[in-house]
A and B are shown apart, each in its own frame.
Chain A
Amino acid sequence: GNSVTQMEGPVTLSEEAFLTINCTYTATGYPSLFWYVQYPGEGLQLLLKATKADDKGSNKGFEATYRKETTSFHLEKGSVQVSDSAVYFCALVSGGSNYKLTFGKGTLLTVNP
């Protein structure tokens, strides 16, 4: 079956530091990959996505590249802000018509001023 493994948190950084949150996956076929973000007290929001190998998703300064050879989709940001403090979830949807999301366990990021 499908699975997503992301680095365990919590991750604590100072403002303007570089961020990497690792995500690897196991899936049949060619999945679409996502990063969702959950700000305190809110639901999940789609942050970025990639639908095929070597695609790069980007949004709000965050980037992630779909690496089929390493089955990875690591999230990066060059300079984090306090407002980036949130829980980040890596997720995938496998091929076919069911569109069921499989989530990683989430990584809590705290950015200090």
Chain B
Amino acid sequence: DADVTQTPRNRITKTGKRIMLECSQTKGHDRMYWYRQDPGLGLRLIYYSFDVKDINKGEISDGYSVSRQAQAKFSLSLESAIPNQTALYFCATSDTATTRANEQFFGPGTRLTVL
């Protein structure tokens, strides 16, 4: 069973629609992250959460919002999707309670297309 799961895996939507991407983890990690991947640009951090009550903007948070519903769940929302938000989105987790606190574990990704 996957430790970090993302739903949906693929989504096609239209400009102006509201979209939610969900991430769940069974690793018991406290920190969760959302990244987007664009060809030739690597991964860029959208939002990150250190615990349920601590949410922080990353380098490209405009147009996105997040919700940490529980330690295991971290959702990313696009309130009004636009075509340049077409990308591959990854959720990741890390655990500050271990000596491997600086390692992040990634989900399989959600491919989002905004028409």
Contact = CB atoms under 8 A, between A and B. Distances in A.
Interface stretch (A12-20, A42-50, A58-66, A77-85): A42-50
B102 A32 contact: yes
A10 B109 CA distance: 22
Main secondary structure of the interface of A (DSSP, over half): strand
B28 to A, nearest CB: 16
Contact of B43 (A42, A89, A93): A89
Given A32-B102, A43-B90, A100 B45 contact: yes
A84 to B, nearest CB: 19
B60 interface: no
Nearest to B99: A51
Interface in A72-113: 89, 93, 97, 99-101, 103-106
Contacts of B40: 105-106
B107 A105 contact: no
Contacts of B96: 97, 99
Contacts of A100: 45, 48, 58
B101 interface: yes
Given A43-B109, A44-B106, A99 B90 contact: no
A99 B89 CA distance: 19
A46 B42 contact: no
A93 B48 CA distance: 14
A42 B2 CA distance: 12
Contacts of B43: 44, 89, 101, 103
Contact of B106 (A32, A45, A51, A104): A45
B102 A93 contact: yes
Interface in B82-112: 90, 92, 94, 96, 101-109
B31 interface: yes
Given A99-B31, A99-B96, A99-B101, A89 B42 contact: yes
A98 B106 CA distance: 17
Interface of A: 32, 34, 36, 42-46, 49, 51, 89, 93, 97, 99-101, 103-106
